[in-house]
Structure 1
Amino acid sequence: MLVTTDNTSLALDSNTPNVSKAIADLSLLANQSIGELIHANPDLLIFPECFKNNEDSIASNPIFELSIQNSKTFLNTGNVMGFIGVQDTQLKIQSRFAQASVIDNDDQGNQEEGSQEDYFLHYMLQKVLCVNLFDLKHSRNQTNVFDFLVYLFPYFHKKALSQGLYKEYQKKTYNDSNLKGAIDIKTHLQRNLPFRGNVAYRVREHSFDNPITQLIRHTIELIKQKPNLRDVLHSDSETFDLVNLIVQHTPSYHARDRHTVINANRKPFVHPYFTEYSGLQKICLQILRHEGLKYANNDDKAHGILFDGAWLWEEYLNTLLRPLGYDHPTNNTQQGGIKVYAQKFSGNNVRRYPDFVKNNDIILDAKYKRMKDNEISRDDLNQVLSYLFLYKANIGGYIAPTVDGNLALNMGLLNGFGGSIHKFKLAIPQQVASYQKFKKAVAENEVKLIEIIKGLSIEQNDSGWQD
């Protein structure tokens, strides 16, 4: 097991036992685009599943890169977090804001260092997926892939059932007086002699009780058996209702059939209308097989679950800025944005999708990567300048996470059409004793961020604020 964080370079010490084997295993995945890896490794799940249409081109980026400098091998990560395994090697990429948790010692009044906890990744998933996590009670020092899979289940479940409850033709056998199919002569002779009015027969009919819905039902029943995770099945009224809908329409469910149901879903689900069921099928299979907890080592295929940190950060900020009146254009759903050309000359008029827009006057860009306080890279600056120009907006800015404390800076006034550029950083708490204390501390920092952003359209403070 190798453990690292996002946006980090990790030196792989050649003197460490088995590191050569680990490098050889990881070389099977290194420096390849995520799009290529997903296509070649069907058991590798990445969230969000709409990565192919992501404007940040995550599909063209690698999960990690291996490079050699001064005879040393370095593992370099980007914005992707999660768990991935290939052959005998497992790689855990945590958020760079993961910390050694602190355990309160009430008797001594002191604190001692606990295990490494990725509170920030859990928190963003909770906010974005609307999962109700009261606390993190998983076993310490364990790779909790299973927990993350369960967190994602309600999200995929809702998306799939938004297209309706899936039904398909099933072969059914009956033995009654309502004959409506082909007579099953053998069964009829065995069960209905002497004749008493019933006829054994077979029929093909549409049924909600099929291998896909049975797979979902078995997943639900497995989650119910996990005391620390089953609350996700009733985290909100919609999830609760959809779980009950599956239960009501799978009357043939029996726990002993789990292996049979898994085998019936070996082939990827493909349907021209029920397209969202494909992702739900994949995550159900991973939960039922516990594949995330037992990385395969019998071939060159990769297994695991990955999260796009940039997407998560952007969607998390959306939960904070939406109540302030900010629109959140999204290119993968072709909603919002602005046309580049006032008059279309040929082909489709391309659009640009800033992360957050308010009244066409304030443009804010979410940045999960590392950003220096007093510097803006050329590409980042050009991106926001183009948005300001297209929207004829007056204020542009960036929002990034940090461990150094809340920060808001006015980077300066612009030439040309005027306007100003700002930079905001949200402090991610470190060295906290529990997940509950982490949530309380980050909520206080959120309030500070929200208050200063509220004042953008009212006044501009050249000196900014910092605490």
Structure 2
Amino acid sequence: MSRIKIKDNSRIPKESLSDISLLTSKIADKTLEQLEKEGIFVFPEILRDADDITKDQMILQSVNNYYLSSNVMGFMGLGDEKLIIESRFSGNGQDFLFQYLLERVFDVPNIVDLKTDVNNDDRVFNLLVFIFPHYLKSAMRKGVFKTYVRKTYNDSNVKGTIDIARHIVKNTPFVGNVAYSQREYSFDNDLMELIRHTVEFIKYKPYGHKLLAQAKDAVKDVVAVTPNYEMCNRQKIIDANKTNTIRHAYYREYCELQSLCLLILQHQKHQIGMGSKKVYGLLFDGAWLWEEYMNSIVDEIFYHPMNKATKGSQRLFDHNRGLIYPDFISRDSGARVIADAKYKPIDNIGNKDYLQVLAYMFRFDAKKGFYFYPEMGKEEDAVMWLNRGSTYEKNVEAREDICLIKHGFQIPTRIDVYSAFTEQMRCNEIKFLDGILTSVK
């Protein structure tokens, strides 16, 4: 088995990936939209208005003798060839940061050991299972999926199409019943049955009940509308959903949930991608993970508009013009503060980043703005005061009332044990939040 690790946002010599040449030939220079169709599961969903992750983004882009990786982290495979994309902010040879971000953002049990190589496919599979409650709740917010299904009956109250062959088998000699079928608008359909099978499959995992408790109301609704559930029909339900995928734009969340359920349930029959020439994998947008993690720390003092979920949208101009999604807007309207989460080193924050946040500050009458970025060294906060004046009049000077602050979150390094890493991260979260509160006073 060939297994290679690389970092996100890095440059990789092509010869260093020669051991996984079949896999790289399948994924290099292909967009995320193309790879989704080949079995790669991308989280979060790719939306048109998303800034951090787009359909045109590539996992590996060829540039001369190198591959350039992007913001995406995760796992991919093709047969015995495996590629793991770690966070560039991970240290000491262990990608503890990626694991910790997943646990905090998705609120999953601490049982995914990303450094264990007992079975690389099981690691991917565990992550698929852990994000299931999130997708289930997202889909069920639109109500239980309902569609037309054909149901068969054998009684004297004929309402649909008579099934001659089935009638002969079941009603010879004739005793008054007729075998027939009819189309009905029902909650108990192939998709809801697929979700039910996934729920029942997860229940038998050691951590299953704790995981499903995160979506207990949605799980209860799924069980209630699938009275015809039978475990022996699992393969039949899988085949039906593979043939009839959800395509309506309104049910986009159900489409994503359907894909996830198929990946989870098919793992039971054959481990993901094993013995197959099809690429498989699970990818996460690093910038999105970092933003959502920051929100888990500062949510008590900041609003968090979300462009991917189209929630909390703001406008720059009147007549509903200039759609914007600032990452964070302080809840204190009297001394408004704007913050932007950046999954990049401090030296890479500049130019367009400055213009974006300054525009948000001007829109909300904010005197202070923040950049929340991961810090691996010991950089102090960089406070930048906005200039006034012009070089033409030679009167440029720093203002005393408007500033941007680069506020780094310290990422622990040189730690070999995940429990110690977690403990240090918890301490750093307190220090990070205290630094914000001190600055906004």
Q: Please indicate the TM-score interval, normalised by the length of the shorter structure.
A: 0.7 to 0.9
Distance 1:127 1:32 in 2: 30
- For residue 88 of structure 1, report the CA deviation from its aligned partner: 6.0
The match for 1:219 among 174, 198, 207 is: 198
The match for 2:7 among 5, 20, 30 is: 5
The size of the alignment, in residue pairs, is 420
Q: Is 2:336 aligned against 1:361?
A: yes
The match for 1:446 among 400, 411, 429 is: 429
Aligned-partner SS, 1:55: coil
Distance 2:94 2:129 in 1: 18
Counterpart in the other structure of 2:66:
74
Counterpart in the other structure of 2:407:
424
Aligned-partner SS, 1:52: coil
**CA deviation map 1:248-305 (0-9, x unaligned):** 3323323332222111111321235433210001011111122995337755x54211
Q: Is 2:358 aligned against 1:385?
A: yes
**CA deviation map 1:134-171 (0-9, x unaligned):** 44368921421111111111111111111111232222
Structure 1 counterpart of 2:324, one-letter code:
R
**CA deviation map 1:72-123 (0-9, x unaligned):** x4333221101123576431102234456xxxxxxxxxxxxxxx65332232
Counterpart in the other structure of 1:294:
272
Counterpart in the other structure of 1:109:
none
Q: Is 2:403 aligned against 1:403?
A: no
Distance 1:377 1:427 in 2: 20
Q: Is 2:129 aligned against 1:150?
A: yes
Aligned-partner SS, 1:201: strand
The match for 1:266 among 232, 242, 261 is: 242
Counterpart in the other structure of 1:277:
254
**CA deviation map 1:210-243 (0-9, x unaligned):** 2111211221222223224553111x3xx12222
Which piece of structure 1 moves more, 272-281 or 54-63?
A: 54-63
Counterpart in the other structure of 1:465:
none
Aligned-partner SS, 1:307: strand
Tell me, yes or no, if the aligned pair for 1:27 and 1:66 is still in contact at 8 Å.
no
Structure 2 counterpart of 1:389, one-letter code:
F
TM superposition outliers: structure 1 runs of 4+ over 6 Å: none
Aligned-partner SS, 2:239: helix
The match for 1:245 among 208, 221, 234 is: 221
Tell me, yes or no, if the aligned pair for 1:147 and 1:229 is still in contact at 8 Å.
no
The match for 1:33 among 26, 31, 34 is: 31
Structure 1 counterpart of 2:201, one-letter code:
L
Tell me, yes or no, if the aligned pair for 1:135 and 1:436 is still in contact at 8 Å.
no
**CA deviation map 1:294-327 (0-9, x unaligned):** 337755x542111000011111111222211x12
Distance 2:53 2:172 in 1: 69
- For residue 366 of structure 1, report the CA deviation from its aligned partner: 0.5
- For residue 436 of structure 1, report the CA deviation from its aligned partner: 4.2
Counterpart in the other structure of 1:167:
146
Tell me, yes or no, if the aligned pair for 1:135 and 1:435 is still in contact at 8 Å.
no
Structure 1 counterpart of 2:370, one-letter code:
G
Distance 1:6 1:229 in 2: 31
Identity between Structure 1 and Structure 2 (%)? 35
Structure 2 counterpart of 1:46, one-letter code:
V
Q: Is 2:306 aligned against 1:314?
A: no
Distance 1:402 1:339 in 2: 32
**CA deviation map 1:33-61 (0-9, x unaligned):** 334444xx342211110443212353333
Tell me, yes or no, if the aligned pair for 1:145 and 1:293 is still in contact at 8 Å.
no
- For residue 393 of structure 1, report the CA deviation from its aligned partner: 1.7
Distance 2:267 2:220 in 1: 24
Structure 1 counterpart of 2:9, one-letter code:
N
After superposition, the Cα gap between the structure-2 partners of 1:380 and 1:170, relative to the gap in structure 1 and judged at 3 Å, is: closer
Tell me, yes or no, if the aligned pair for 2:197 and 2:234 is still in contact at 8 Å.
yes
The match for 2:387 among 397, 406, 415 is: 415
TM-score, with normalisation over the residues of structure 1? Answer: 0.79
Counterpart in the other structure of 1:46:
42
Superposed CA RMSD in Å reads: 3.1
Aligned-partner SS, 1:274: helix
After superposition, the Cα gap between the structure-2 partners of 1:444 and 1:200, relative to the gap in structure 1 and judged at 3 Å, is: same
- For residue 187 of structure 1, report the CA deviation from its aligned partner: 4.3
Tell me, yes or no, if the aligned pair for 1:7 and 1:369 is still in contact at 8 Å.
no
Distance 1:167 1:412 in 2: 55
The match for 1:59 among 50, 55, 62 is: 55
Counterpart in the other structure of 1:371:
346
After superposition, the Cα gap between the structure-2 partners of 1:181 and 1:139, relative to the gap in structure 1 and judged at 3 Å, is: farther
After superposition, the Cα gap between the structure-2 partners of 1:255 and 1:337, relative to the gap in structure 1 and judged at 3 Å, is: closer
Distance 2:267 2:91 in 1: 26
TM-score, with normalisation over the residues of structure 2? Answer: 0.84
Aligned-partner SS, 1:31: coil
